[in-house]
């Protein structure tokens, strides 16, 4: 995460080998996120079958799981792990200060052409 969230940040890694290593690390983190997401989904589904819980208890536990999934999703898009639009993990990424998200250079450039004030 950029230290100053209000500034545009552009990654500039050019070395192809380092970019591949970065991509592999990003892929590992994505796989871990997906594993955690699936685990939460399994817990969510199991709650539906648990007859020992009251409706309110089930609702409260399911709401907690939904919040955890949302935090997981937000954490993933707020760090420079992939383009939030196309999912590219190899490209350098650009941090969009107004949206708190990372986009690859082609996606950011396209957004800049359409909405220059939102994507400086």
Closer residue to Zn ion in complex, CB, 49/114: 114
The neighbour count for residue 102, using CB atoms within 10 Å, is: 26
Rounded to a whole number of angstroms, the minimum distance from the CB of residue 88 to Zn ion is 5
B/e letters for 66-79, b = 16+ CB within 10 Å, e = fewer, are: eebeeeeeeebebe
Rounded to a whole number of angstroms, the minimum distance from the CB of residue 76 to Zn ion is 15
Residue 88 to residues 55, 75, 84, Cα–Cα distance (Å): 42, 17, 8
Confirm if 77 and 102 have CB atoms less than 8 A apart.
Answer: yes
> Looking at residue 115, what DSSP letter applies?
-
Is 83 one of the binding residues for Zn ion (CB under 5 A)? yes
Closer residue to Zn ion in complex, CB, 81/104: 104
Is 84 one of the binding residues for Zn ion (CB under 5 A)? no
The Cα–Cα gap between 95 and 79 comes to 9
Closer residue to Zn ion in complex, CB, 65/105: 105
Closer residue to Zn ion in complex, CB, 81/83: 83
> Which residue of 1, 25, 28, 86 would you call a contact of Zn ion, by CB under 5 A?
86
Rounded to a whole number of angstroms, the minimum distance from the CB of residue 101 to Zn ion is 11
Rounded to a whole number of angstroms, the minimum distance from the CB of residue 110 to Zn ion is 9
Tell me phi and psi for residue 68, to 5 degrees.
Answer: -60, -40
- Residues making contact with Zn ion (CB under 5 A): 83, 85-86, 88, 104, 107
């Amino acid at each position: 995460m950029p230290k100053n969230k209000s500034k545009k940040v552009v990654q500039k890694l050019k070395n192809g080998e380092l970019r591949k290593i970065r991509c592999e690390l990003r892929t590992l983190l994505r796989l871990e996120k997906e594993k955690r997401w699936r685990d939460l989904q399994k817990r969510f589904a199991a709650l539906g079958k648990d007859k020992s819980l009251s409706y309110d208890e089930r609702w409260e536990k399911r709401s907690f799981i939904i919040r955890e999934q949302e935090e997981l999703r937000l954490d993933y898009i707020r760090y420079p792990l992939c383009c939030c639009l196309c999912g590219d993990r190899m490209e350098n990424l650009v941090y969009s200060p107004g949206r708190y998200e990372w986009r690859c250079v082609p996606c950011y450039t396209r957004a800049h052409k359409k909405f220059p004030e939102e994507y400086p």
